[in-house]
Structure 1
Amino acid sequence: MPRWVKVTIATVLPLAAGALAWWMCAMVGVDPNAAGIVVSLVVLVPGTPLVIWAGQTEASPAQRPRPVPAAIGGIPREPRAFQPRPDLLARIEEVFREGGAAAVCALVGARGVGKTQVAAAYARDRADRGVPVAWLHAETVGQLTASLHLMGAELGLRSAADDSSAVVRKLRAWLEDRQESYLVVLDNADDPDVLAPFLPARGGARVLITTNDLAFERIAAPLPVTRFTAGEARRYLHDRVGAIGDEELIGELIDELDRLPLALSIAAAALVGPPRVGYAAYLTQVRSTPVEVLLDRPRGEPYPRGVGQAITLALDGVGPQARRLLGELAVFSTSGVSQEILGPEATGALAELGAVSLVAFSQDGSTVLVHRLVRRVVRDEAARDGALASLIEAAALRLVFVERIADEDTGRRLPTILAVDEHATALWEALKPLLDEDAARARAAARTLFKIRHATAEHLLYLNDGTRAIPVAQAVVEGREQVLGPDHPETLNATYTLAHAYEFAGQAVAAVDLFADLVARWSRIRGEGAAETLRAQAGLASALTTAGHADEAVGLLENVVAAQSRILGSDDPHLLGSRFFLAFALVEAGQPDRAAELFEALVADRAGLLGADHPEALVDEQRLAWAYHHAGRFEEAIAVYEHVQPRQERVIGADHPDTLITVHGLASAYEAVGRIAEALTRYEHAAHRLATVLGPDQPLTLSAARDLERARRLAAPG
């Protein structure tokens, strides 16, 4: 409700009530002094809250606090025959109770003792009680960074321009300001120095860490987690396997497996079968499997005795397809692999691996998880056999579908695209040490990974998100330089993408420098008139326009378009792109009428080639409207914008940045013809949604926010 309406109501209603009270007092003959008191009360009692109400301003959609998600990240679901270990859960609660505000507890223990399952049981209990939970992966700096960025995004705190330190500061401040209960789990933490800046010093949040590093006692109350007790181990086998056999044999098997929950879970799966194996036979197998002979011992940290043996036995019991799949899972990111990436063809192998406890699943069943000890056993065995590069290549091939995601689906499938990039990053880190050992296979796998990450960067650029595209494109450039050399065409193509990422992120000077270097390199390799050189020149001109040198860009682009027209077909996408850049630069150079003519021709050509509702054809129409606006042809601009917006919403989605750019342009056109109320509504929508989709500090968001504030000032009375 407009504020002037509130003020009018808050003024008129109490006065009207006072006048009515005075008249009634006069009618019944009340003494004037008493009548004055009555009238004052009648005016003040309803008037005071009305004045307070009138002074309140309604929060805009962008200002309203985002509801806190009930869960961030995937809490592992309860495994079969789970032993709740209530004493540990009670001690966690005791640590949090005694620790006061912002208590931090670290579950510390060796690999395989079940720290993650204890933390998951506590997290599930908290979630059941209505406490929001964030489950974050902290095994590596990269995983922790990704988890913190996810948490920041889910809470509406992270902007696209935030680096890791900014995200940490915002999350810590949010946790310290929160008085209600909140649980953060940091699973498999490796470095206390990395976590320390994130841990809150006050507030209602509680932080639970799982780690095998005793150094965490410096920043958290340590709670040791050891192996199962003999009783817990026996109860687990009874619950999982069923009828108990020879108690002495069971005791020997429990001891042989060090009472480690992971080893016992794998052993139980083998005992259950099919085929079902007796305790005596399985114990004989365990004792005859010399894991120290089969597997190289990792430097500095041997496998817990018994776990490696149990894993090896389980591996021997699965078929070749399941074993191969487990090998691929072992080289993907440890945060888990979605069923979407693996595809329906992996269902049978996953069932086989799950039956022998070599894989687990997230609580909702959408993500496949592999314990880090299983991963290490499988990877070390593959490295010993010279098959690790082959496994990485096979895993990489599961990710190439990201190249086939259509433009119109990019926004909707962004979570999948980002997950693919996380896995590609993990695969590259695993592959780098093999470049000298298995050069041919490793180089082939590397080129596949670079194609995947390059496609990710291109998808981010299609969403106008240069900030997130920069580190991805930079990694591709550096990787290709290492594997292929700095002047390889694939390296130079990645450099082109990186330069555009700088431009989209508002770093136009860096983009100009990189494009200029690219022009020089292509000229030296291919020649000044080569298609690659001309494409780099068009990119340079686009960056010059962004940097405020539109006049220089126009001259360069006119030469590029003329040259490309001679050597390329009229439907070549690079020529169409250069024509787009030229029309854009003409608007910025103060020649909007000429730009409108070029955009009109481009709209017709692109629509004839790709269809009128192709995403690129719709952007051409959007920019035609923009040119009309700059030429003062406001009604024509409005008509085109209104025609484009619903089609973009249908094809690429209402929250796609290109759609929101159209909304922003339509608002500006409405403002130009005096339709201020309609302009204000669309400015608010564009600014709010761009901040949500891209972050508050992205150039498109900042532009919409500035226009919104100006429109609000215009609409303000007086």
Structure 2
Amino acid sequence: MVDQRRSGGAGAAGRDGQGGPERFLVVFPGYHRPWANWIAQRLEFHGRRVTLQRWDPPREVPLEESLGDLLMSTGRVLLVLNDWFFELGPRAAGEWNDVLRGYVADNADRFAAVNLTNRQLPPATAVLEPVSLWSTGEEEAEERLLGRLGIDYRRTTGRQPPASGSRFPNTPPEVWGEVPRRNRRFTGRDDILTELQERLTEAERGNSACTLLGMSGIGKTQIAAEYAHRFSTDYDVIWWVNSDDRNIQRDRFGELSVELGLRSGNEPGERIRAVRDALRRGEPYSRWLVIFDGWDDTDGAGVLLPHGPGHTIVTSRNRGWGEHTDVLDVPSFDRAESTGYLMRRAPHVTSAQADEVAAEFGDVPLSLVQAASLLGETRMEVPEYLRMVREGRLSTVEEPAGDGFPHSSLTSWSILINRLRRTQPQAVEVLSLCASFAPGRIPLGLARAYPQADLPEELRWMSTDLTAWTRALDTLVTYSVLTRESRGPVNTEMGPHQESVHMHRLVHDMVSRLTSDENRETYRKAVRTLLAEADPGNPLDSRQWPQYAELLPHLEPSGALSSSNARVQAAVLNCLQYCRRSGEFTAGTRLAEKIRNHWTVFMDPLAPNMLDLTTQQSNLLRSAGRFREGYELDSAMMQRLRAAEPRNELGELSINGNLASGLRRLGRYQEALELQRQVLADEERLLGENELTSLNARHNLGVGLRLLGRYREAYELDLETLSRRQNALRTRHITTLNSGNAVAHGLRLLGQYRDSVARQEPVVRLHVQVLGPLHPQTLAARTHLALARRREGGFQQDIGPLMDSLMEQLEQVHGRTHYSTLSFINDYGNFQREHGDLAKAKDLIAEAEAGYRALLGPAHPVATGMLANTGLVMQAAGDRSEAMSMFESALAGLTATLGADHPWVLGCALNASGGRNFNGRVADAADLSRDTLRRSRRVLGDEHPLTLSCQTALAADLRALREHEEAEKVEADALLTLTRTLGAQHPHTLSARQRTRPYWDFEAYLG
């Protein structure tokens, strides 16, 4: 590859024989591109013309001929040397010395060289008189370079390169985040690395992201790591994110906030948001590179994928990344790369033999790494090796390897593992233990962290013999079977009990296939024992969530889901509880279904753990919006409990609590309230008033009262629950935080908007500190605050951007059709209608209404209430007749299901009276307004904003009937009360003074 460079113009230029600037051809292996770039930059700065040429001459072309091609250029040839330079090809022993002594010596005036290593080079390299840049500072390196080329350094001392130039290669980026150590044996891939760089640099600014796509073992991770090293001088921040597991991925990406010096909390969600914002703005660094390694699930792309002036690389097997990034397919090695790698690792292998081995393994890099490692370590002859591979002597290799790999790969792994069994059996034990975890990141240090674990006798050495442990891991790392990982701060040494390793999926598959059934069960039992020991025991404590996130992926591979061990089952249920409490609803519902499938086979359906599973599973289903499924699951369990003898009163109590929650979500509010009262009475009778479940029952009773419009009762009960939770559980407990939300929500429903804002602001801050800004409960708290500020009226300019941000984040966390997102789409539509974007409001309200109908059915009170908002959009658009029809439908439907005195019904009546007035039915409007005002005063009180809106509407209807005296009196009284309660400048007060007809918009609330 030739990279033409224009001349720089800073220093005094040397001249070639024809009077132009002196020219140089800088020849380098791709491995040393950073040095070549820096050398070119310095020479151009001093007025020389430079051409860069990446060099990897084909082995079939004589070396003298390839060097002769270099001399076809004008000017001198500068070779960038290290020991790797002389392994290109690779060449037969002695070929380089012969050419250096002959051809190069004859043209010594045309060649010069710099040396970047302290390793021994071929003796004849002396003819090039290479100047060493090994381990030098930038100023000294420049002086040596220019001195070797006869350029006067002193004449241009003090002049600096442009700020955009490449950084000196020995100067690391400001932030270097756990990029894998550079592979000195990295082979070829120059073309794909060059293309990757071109795609990243030529992409649209702000969206420079490329996915390296290919099957397991194809070399995606190695290419990404080599890119990070090779182009490190082009970046100030390089951050590596292992992405096999979503929670670990989020933690690791969020850790970048510390390195960037960002002011964020300790929760991953908060850190992620801060990091993405900093990267988007390019502050404090605009030249950044983030690499997500092994990111196969594209669901989280919108939440994590950064945008901005820097670059992003993803490695994945999932072609779905084409919807989010540019995609670069990673092929197998080409044959020259395969054979070159084999011959360098195993020098006794001939070119023809290397070709045969490469063909056997289909040029797949990971398979060739293992073959080369074994051939180089044992010096086994290739015919013998291939014979063993092809004969498939071991009985465990009869099935294909899968994942697109040839059958011979499995046999090659058999040979390696058999050799380790003879020479390092403890390494095989560690490897087999790893294969009983999930692939990807493995918390292997658990084997040392819990010496009390009841491990099989043959594995107990892992917790007692540190030397053997270290030796076994070192062996596996040496054979490229595992890589070490660390979760601690950069450059911080982790103890063996904290050690994690990364096991590629291909390796995991191979080792699993080569482990006998008996041994596999031994290791799986050991892993699930360790997982149970590592269970923190408190999934409600957000500080323990990172540990649960690390345990979660390994439950199924270890066989924990089918274990009959009580401690393992408890750990499984705690992990399930973690999913619910941390907001991982989709993952939780999937896990619960898997647990049920396993436990149903051997467990009594009324066993305590099965009851616990049912409780958690139905809660997760409701949290995910699958209300009917959750209710049916609880109903089936209750039928079993009632038919059983003796009676399980605590079991019935737990399921009754779930049934009450299910009834609320299904819109059967009165039934739910009656059942919830009974649940609370039973909880306090059987368990005591201040137990966690009793307090939860008390909170849920408040939810039921709110849904029935009994706002004052709900608020007073929520205040009491909050006080009890603060005393029993403390302020930062997740359920105490939820009570804080409930109290602030109650104040808003009571029309005390200022108090609601004042109460909700510290609640939100505490949520963010404890749970992070993107936890579902935090998003709910932030939503309540936004709505309270909108109602309070003093934050109108800030509400739009706030709601924009919340809309995006709710969609990221829940998806577009989740009930929490639909609720906010509805609220956002109401806001847009009020502030002039009627087209957007129409689309949002229509989306919310359709979404709720699909989720809940058309007869559900929430789906019915949505008609009111649809009518408001129609009325604003001038379609008054259709709007009135919507208002009347909402009024009739909610009256039938909730009764005439429910606040939602009163709001619909307020809208319907307006619709009648606007359509000329003034007398009917006045009658409805009088009745609605009377009911609202009785239900909500004289000073509630809805009551005052009803009073203002009545005044308008009376005025239309020419009953001016009564209208003036009613209006004046309403204005006086609005001014006193909400303030003279509140939007409600201003609208009433301007005689704008009041309305009521529906907030969709499911409890």
Name the TM tier (shorter chain): 0.5 to 0.7
The residue number in structure 1 matching 2:515 is: 382
Distance 2:810 2:506 in 1: 43
Shift in alpha-carbon separation, 1:666–1:199, aligned structure 2, 3 A:
closer
Per-residue CA distance 1:523-557 (angstroms, 9 max, x = gap): 33366660110111111111211221121111111
The residue number in structure 2 matching 1:359 is: 482
Matched, 1:208 2:329: yes
Matched, 1:580 2:699: yes
Shift of 1:291: 9.8
Distance 1:607 1:262 in 2: 56
Matched, 1:421 2:552: yes
Moved more, 618-627 or 390-399: 390-399
Q: Give secondary structure in 2 for the equivalent of 1:331.
A: coil
Q: Give secondary structure in 2 for the equivalent of 1:368.
A: strand
CA contact (8 A) 2:539 2:574 kept: no
Q: Give secondary structure in 2 for the equivalent of 1:369.
A: strand
Aligned equivalent of 2:665, options 521, 546, 556? 546
Matched, 1:698 2:833: no
The residue number in structure 1 matching 2:502 is: 369
Per-residue CA distance 1:455-474 (angstroms, 9 max, x = gap): 34322322455344322222
Shift in alpha-carbon separation, 1:557–1:689, aligned structure 2, 3 A:
same
Aligned equivalent of 2:576, options 457, 467, 473? 457
Distance 1:199 1:642 in 2: 39
Distance 1:231 1:712 in 2: 64
Matched, 1:630 2:745: no
Using the size of structure 2 for normalisation, the TM-score is 0.47
The residue number in structure 2 matching 1:619 is: 738
Matched, 1:317 2:447: no
The residue number in structure 1 matching 2:920 is: none
Matched, 1:237 2:346: yes
The residue number in structure 1 matching 2:431 is: 326
Distance 1:655 1:612 in 2: 20
Shift of 1:617: 1.5
Distance 1:664 1:373 in 2: 45
The residue number in structure 2 matching 1:51 is: none
Shift of 1:299: 2.4
The residue number in structure 2 matching 1:299 is: 399
Shift of 1:331: 2.8
Q: Give secondary structure in 1 for the equivalent of 2:396.
A: coil
Shift in alpha-carbon separation, 1:715–1:326, aligned structure 2, 3 A:
same
Shift of 1:350: 3.0
In the comparison of the two structures, how many residue pairs are matched? Answer: 564
Moved more, 366-375 or 551-560: 366-375
Amino acid at match of 2:522: S
Q: Give secondary structure in 1 for the equivalent of 2:501.
A: strand
Shift of 1:454: 3.7
Shift in alpha-carbon separation, 1:483–1:83, aligned structure 2, 3 A:
farther
Distance 2:804 2:195 in 1: 50
Q: Give secondary structure in 1 for the equivalent of 2:763.
A: helix
Amino acid at match of 2:418: T
Shift of 1:506: 2.4
Amino acid at match of 1:149: D
The residue number in structure 2 matching 1:707 is: 827
Matched, 1:83 2:187: yes
Shift of 1:589: 1.2
Per-residue CA distance 1:184-216 (angstroms, 9 max, x = gap): 7554x8xxxxx6xx4869x99334156xxxxxx
Per-residue CA distance 1:211-247 (angstroms, 9 max, x = gap): xxxxxxxxxxxx6766976554221235xxxxxxxx5
CA contact (8 A) 1:328 1:395 kept: yes
CA contact (8 A) 1:75 1:120 kept: no
- Note the 1:468-479 alignment, pairs <5 A: 468-479=587-598
CA contact (8 A) 1:508 1:543 kept: yes
Higher helix share: 1
Distance 1:606 1:93 in 2: 56
Amino acid at match of 1:360: T
CA contact (8 A) 2:441 2:500 kept: yes
Aligned equivalent of 1:409, options 542, 547, 565? 542
Q: Give secondary structure in 2 for the equivalent of 1:387.
A: helix
Shift of 1:404: 3.9
Distance 1:388 1:637 in 2: 58
Per-residue CA distance 1:313-367 (angstroms, 9 max, x = gap): 13433353x4333112223333443678788889835334213433235799997
Distance 2:765 2:321 in 1: 46
Aligned equivalent of 1:689, options 806, 809, 823? 809
Aligned equivalent of 2:473, options 334, 350, 354? 350
Distance 2:824 2:594 in 1: 31
- Note the 1:531-680 alignment, pairs <5 A: 531-677=650-796, 680=800
- Note the 1:110-509 alignment, pairs <5 A: 147-151=297-301, 153-155=303-305, 186-187=316-317, 198=320, 205-208=326-329, 231-237=340-346, 247=348, 265=369, 279=379, 296-300=396-400, 302-304=407-409, 305-318=411-424, 320=426, 322-337=427-442, 348=470, 349-360=472-483, 368-371=501-504, 374-376=507-509, 378-384=511-517, 386-400=518-532, 401=534, 404=537, 406-409=539-542, 413=545, 417=548, 420-428=551-559, 443-444=563-564, 451-509=570-628
The residue number in structure 2 matching 1:99 is: none
The residue number in structure 2 matching 1:67 is: none
Shift in alpha-carbon separation, 1:418–1:713, aligned structure 2, 3 A:
same
Distance 1:356 1:507 in 2: 48
Per-residue CA distance 1:413-438 (angstroms, 9 max, x = gap): 56x7556433334444xx89xxxxxx
Amino acid at match of 2:416: A
Distance 1:575 1:155 in 2: 42
Q: Give secondary structure in 1 for the equivalent of 2:722.
A: helix
Distance 1:87 1:631 in 2: 67
Distance 1:145 1:204 in 2: 13
Shift in alpha-carbon separation, 1:524–1:351, aligned structure 2, 3 A:
farther
Shift in alpha-carbon separation, 1:621–1:373, aligned structure 2, 3 A:
closer
Q: Give secondary structure in 2 for the equivalent of 1:382.
A: coil
CA contact (8 A) 1:568 1:575 kept: yes
Amino acid at match of 2:345: Y
CA contact (8 A) 2:294 2:314 kept: no
Shift in alpha-carbon separation, 1:127–1:454, aligned structure 2, 3 A:
farther
The residue number in structure 2 matching 1:17 is: none
Structure (1 or 2) with the larger CA radius of gyration: 2
Indicate the structure whose relative CO is greater, using CA pairs within 8 Å and at least 6 residues apart: 1
The residue number in structure 2 matching 1:53 is: none
Per-residue CA distance 1:1-29 (angstroms, 9 max, x = gap): xxxxxxxxxxxxxxxxxxxxxxxxxxxxx
Gaps of 5+ in 2: 1-176, 199-209, 246-292, 402-406, 450-462, 491-498, 837-986, 992-1007
Distance 1:511 1:107 in 2: 40
Shift in alpha-carbon separation, 1:117–1:477, aligned structure 2, 3 A:
closer
The residue number in structure 2 matching 1:69 is: none
Task: Indicate the percent of aligned positions where both proteins have the same amino acid.
Answer: 19
Distance 1:204 1:607 in 2: 47
Amino acid at match of 2:713: R
Distance 2:194 2:728 in 1: 67
Q: Give secondary structure in 1 for the equivalent of 2:438.
A: coil
Distance 2:478 2:228 in 1: 23
Shift of 1:249: 11
Q: Give secondary structure in 2 for the equivalent of 1:407.
A: coil
Distance 2:760 2:685 in 1: 34
Per-residue CA distance 1:450-494 (angstroms, 9 max, x = gap): 655543432232245534432222222222213425443322321
CA contact (8 A) 1:334 1:372 kept: yes
CA RMSD, Structure 1 to Structure 2 (Å): 5.2
Amino acid at match of 2:555: A
